[in-house]
Amino acid sequence: MITDLRTAAPPPAAKSRPSAWWRSGAGSLMEVRWAIAATALFAAGGAAQLASGPPWLWWTLYLACYAAGGWEPGLAGLKALRGRTLDVDLLMVAAAIGAAAIGQVFDGALLIVIFATSGALEAVATKRTEDSVRGLLDLAADQATRVDDSGTEEVVAAADLRVGDVILVRPGERIGADGQVIAGASDVDQASITGESLPVDKQTGDEVFAGTVNGTGVLRVHVTRPASETVIARIVAMVEQASATKARTQLFIEKVEQRYSVAMVAATIALFVIPLALGQDLQDSLLRAMTFMIVASPCAVVLATMPPLLAAIATAGRHGVLVKSAVVMEHLADVTQVAFDKTGTLTEGRPHLAHLRILPDPADDSRNGPEDQAGTQADRLLTLAAAAEQGSEHPLGRAIVAAAHHQGLLLPAATAFAALPGRGVRAHVDGHLVEIGSPAHLLDPTASHEASSHEAASARAVVAELEGDGHSTVLMLLDGRPAAVLGLADRLRGDAAQAVTHLAGLTGTTPVLLTGDNPRAAARVAGQVGITDVRAGLLPEDKVNAVRELQQHAQVALVGDGVNDAPALATAHAGIAMGRAGADLTLDTADAVITRDELSTVPAVLALARRARRLVVANLVIAGTFIAVLVAWDLLGDLPLPLGVAGHEGSTVIVGLNGLRLLRDAAWRRAATSPPTASTPR
C-alpha cells in the first residue's frame, strides 16, 4: 500500500522538490548560497588553469571565489577584532590575501572554499535543529473537546485549556493535555513520551500525557497542567536549552588559535616594519614578511586536522554511520561512557510472542496428555487466539497473529468480534467463545466467568512468573475457562550483547541502560546484554538528569531513537540515533545516526574516531616541525620564497595524504574487529 501511494504521487510534487529546497530548505540559507558560489568559481578557476587558459581568466575566477566565500568570514573576523578578539577566520582570510599577493592564488582560494563550506554546514545543522524542534509541536493536539458540568461539549484550542477542565478523548485521537483519567478505559500509545513499546492500559485514576494517542476506548480526562507545562512542551524546551547552552566545542587546533593568531600577526608586522625602519628596501621587507606569513600560516595545520576527521566521516558513512561533522568525530573520540535507551535501540521496538503457556483443565484430557500432544495443543490454542485477534488493532493482537502466520497456521474466520477498550477482545471461533485480554480483568472474581478458584490461582501463578521475567501477559479464556497465558516481549537486537561487551572493553566502563519502560522489562533486557546499571521508568527530564549525573565523571555518548530521547541526546557529549525508526527530532538532534540500525557500528565508530584523533596528533607534529624549521630559517637566515612555498606546500601534501589513509575499507575493518581493550581517547 505504501508503495502504491508513493507511485501514485503526482509528478508536479516531485518536480517541486529542488525549488522547495532552494526556497525553504538548506538552499535558502545565505551561507549555503555563498559557499556554492565560491566552490563553483574555484572549480571554474582550477579548470581554466589546468587547461592553460589565459592567466587573467583564472585569476579573475579565483578572486571572485575570494569575494564570494571570504566576505562573510572576513566580516566576522573584523567584528571580532573590534571586540579585541583575533580569530582564525580573519587570520585565514589574511593568509589567503597574502598567498595571492605573492602569486599563490590557488592556495588562497582553496582556504576560502574550506572556510565557506564549514560555515555553510554549521548553518544547515542549526536550521535543521530549529525546524525539527518546531515540528515536535505537531505531536501535540491542536484542539480538544472540553466538557462542562452540564455535559455540553465544546471544541477548543488545546492551548486554551486550563487546570481543572475536563476533556473528552475519543478513539484514535491525540490527548490534548496532561491530566488524570476520571472516567472510561482505553489503551494509550505513549511511546513518544516514555518510549514504551506497548500501549498502556489506562483506567480511572491513571495519568495521561498530551501528544499521546488514545486507543479504542473513550476517556474523560481532568486537566492537571497548563499547555505550557505539559511533558511534550518541556521536551521542546529542554532540547532548545541544551542546544543553546551546550558548549561550542572546537577542533583541537582551534583551542590555541588565539595565541597563535596574535603571535603570527605580530611577527609579520615586525618583520615588515623593523627592517623598513632600519633602512631596508620596501620590496625586500614586504617579501620577507610575506614569506613569513606563508610559511607560518596554519594551512598545513588545518589540513593536518581536517583530512583524518573527514576521511573517518566518509568511511563511517559507507559502513552505516552518518557522523554530522568533524567536531562530532572528535567528540566520539573522547567518549568514556556509553548509555543506551532500551525500546527501539537495544531491542527492535515491537512486541513478539515469546511464550504460550498452556493451563491445565481437568475437563480436557488433551491439555494434560503426553508431551507429544503439547505441540499440537499449543498450535490449536494459538490458532484460536490469532483468529480472534485478526480484527484487533492492538500491537499485542498483531503480534499474536504474526506468530501464527510465522508458524504457517491457517486461521479460521471469527464471528461476533468485539473489542473491549482497555480489556481485550472477544470472538466466536470454530464453535468456541474465545476471550483474550488483561489477566486482572478476566480473572476478576466479580466477572461472570466459569473459572474455578483453582484454575484462577493457577493462571495467576503463570502470569506472575512471566511478568516477573519482564514479559507483558494476556490471558486466553476458552468457553469461559482459562486456557493459556501468552507472554509477549520486545525482541533483543542480534548484535546488542556483542556491542555492549565491545564498548565495555573499549571505554573501560560497562554501558548504562536508561529507559522509560517498566523496571521488570528493563532488567530482563539488561540481563541479556550484560548491563548492570539499569535506570527505568524515566521521563525525558529524568533521562537528561541521568546523563548530567554520568557526565560528572565521564564523557557520555547516548544511543536512542525516540522523541523522548531527544533532550538527553542534545545534553550528552555525543548523541547517537537509530536511523530506521528514529523520530525526525531525534535524527536532527543527534550528532551521529546509525543508518542501518546495527549496534555493532557503535564501538566501531568510536574506535575509528580514536584512530583519527591519533592521526591528527601525528599530523600536527609533522606540520609543526615544518613550520618551525621554515620560520627559523626565515628569521635567522635568508629563506628564498620559492623554497619557502615548496616547504609549506610539501608539508600540506604530506599531512593530507597521511590523513586520507582512513578512507580505506581496511580502516573500518580494523576498527570493527579490534580487540576490546580499554584505552584513553587521547
Q: Which helix (H) or strand (E) holds 39?
A: helix 30-50
Q: Which among 89, 341, 517, 597 is annotated as catalytic?
A: 341
d(CA 555, CA 533): 17
CA 602 to chain centre: 12
Residue where the block lists cell 504521487: 9
Q: CB of 529 within 8 A of CB of 546?
A: no
Q: Which three cell numbers stand for residue 296?
A: 607560518
Cα–Cα distance for residue pair 682/671, rounded to 1 Å: 16
User: Hey, which residues does 420 pair with through a beta bridge?
Assistant: 424
Ramachandran angles phi, psi of 241, nearest 5°: -65, -45
Conformational region of residue 424, where left means phi above 0, alpha means psi within -120 to 50, and beta covers everything else: left
**DSSP-assigned beta bridge partners for residue 358:** 484
Work out the burial of residue 508: count CB atoms within 10 Å of its CB; fewer than 13 is exposed, 13-18 middle, 19 or more buried.
middle
C-alpha separations of 608 from 111, 144, 289 in Å: 27, 50, 41
- What is the rounded CA–CA span in Å between residue 211 and residue 178? 9
Rounded Cα distance between 438 and 201, Å, is 9
Interacting residues of 406 by C-beta distance below 8 A, sequence separation 6+? none
Rounded distance between C-alpha atoms, residue 379 and residue 407, angstroms: 9
Contact 343, 195 (CB under 8 A): yes
Question: What separation in angstroms does the CA of 410 have from each of 74, 354, 384, 478, 622?
Answer: 72, 20, 10, 19, 70
Please report where in the chains the cell 546509525 appears, as a residue: 594
Amino acid at 67: A
Phi, psi of 360 (to 5 degrees): -70, 145
Structure letter (DSSP) for residue 409: P
Kindly state the cell numbers that stand for 25.
530548505
The Cα–Cα gap between 531 and 435 comes to 38
Question: What spatial distance separates the first Cα and last Cα of the chain, rounded to whole Å?
Answer: 51
The three-point CA angle 638-643-645 to 5° equals 115
- CA–CA–CA angle 28, 31, 33 (5° rounding): 60
User: What distances in angstroms separate CA 615 from CA 67, 306, 531, 664, 676, one per listed residue?
Assistant: 33, 10, 33, 14, 20
DSSP structural state of residue 338: E
Is residue 144 classed as helix, strand or coil in its secondary structure? strand
* Ramachandran category for residue 326: left, alpha or beta (phi over 0 → left; psi -120 to 50 → alpha): alpha
Helix (H, G, I), strand (E, B) or coil at 163: coil
Q: What b/e string do you get for 437-468 counting C-beta neighbours within 10 Å, with b at 16 or more? A: bbbebbbeeeeebebeeebbebbbebbeebbe
- Check if 469 is active-site: no
Strand locations in 164-258 (E): 166-169, 179-184, 186-189, 200-202, 207-208, 213-214, 219-223
**Residue 512: closest CA among 560, 462, 580, 441:** 560
Q: Which residues pair with 474 in a beta bridge?
A: 486
Do the beta carbons of residue 653 and residue 626 sit within 8 Å? no
Q: Which residues are catalytic?
A: 341
